[in-house]
Amino acid sequence: MTSEMSETAVTGEVDGDTENPAAPGTAPAVLVVQHEEDAGPGLVGDRLVRAGLRLDVVRAWLGEPLPDDLGGHAGLLVLGGSVGCRDDESAPWLPRVRTLVREAVAGEVPLLGICLGGQLVADALGGSVVARTGGPELGAVPLRRLAAADEDPVLGGVPEGAPAAQWHWDEVGRLPAGAVPLLTGDDCPYQAFRVGRAGWGLQFHPEAGSGTVALWAEADDAQVRADGGDPAAVVASVREAEPELRTVWGAVSEAWGAVVRAHSGARTART
């Protein structure tokens, strides 16, 4: 996606999240792929740590290597970023991310892709990602539930019309074969989908609050205005929705964390 950011720091400090996203070494570990400095796990990471998980953050843009496989990791979290999902030349770690995504789905390792991360999930599994023809989707946008969401272990509790923070110029154009759409919107059809038994892709930013969106708006001010948007109004929409954003997407983060913990427990029992 040509102009997307995800979080202002690994720790999510702008939104008041945990200062050190780490749990004891014995805790189940989630591999977190971070694409750029201003793109951390924010509220999602905070809730995962509170749920007793450890975040192993790989700062890929600094050249930190991604592992050859998921190894001892109980989950995979792929964050957002300003690169496109096929910008392999400027982000040479992306082929490895796609490989890890495929490994997670094949091995039923819990997977969560956020915005660029969700697009990478779709792309890696045979779907497509396209530039939005009507300009970017920005700010707090209400989502609609689809029938399959009713029984979903992660998104089943999302209420109809729940707002989600949006900041994207690209979107999923076609889901991979067998993917299940869960949430949609009036202007973006694939807001959330499930792949396999334990993989989820999101087009929006559950990790972001108004402080983060204010920084995105400042960084992309000229482009937002060129596309007919009002950066101040975008930030205001997220600020107004922030209490509900934190409640709804905090619960979703905890639900995904519970899937990770269940997977870790089952794996331990097998060994």
> Catalytic site residues?
115, 205, 207
131 touches 237 (CB < 8 A) = no
Report the candidate in 65, 82, 15, 81 with the shortest Cα–Cα distance to residue 45. 15
79 touches 266 (CB < 8 A) = no
117 touches 80 (CB < 8 A) = yes
How many Å apart are CA 149 and CA 153, to the nearest integer?
A: 8
How many Å apart are CA 212 and CA 138, to the nearest integer?
A: 13
Report the candidate in 84, 160, 91 with the shortest Cα–Cα distance to residue 119. 84
246 touches 43 (CB < 8 A) = yes
The first and second tokens of residue 112, run together, are 């969560």
Burial of 182 (0-12, 13-18, 19+ CB in 10 A): buried
Which three-class secondary structure state does DSSP give residue 37? Answer: coil
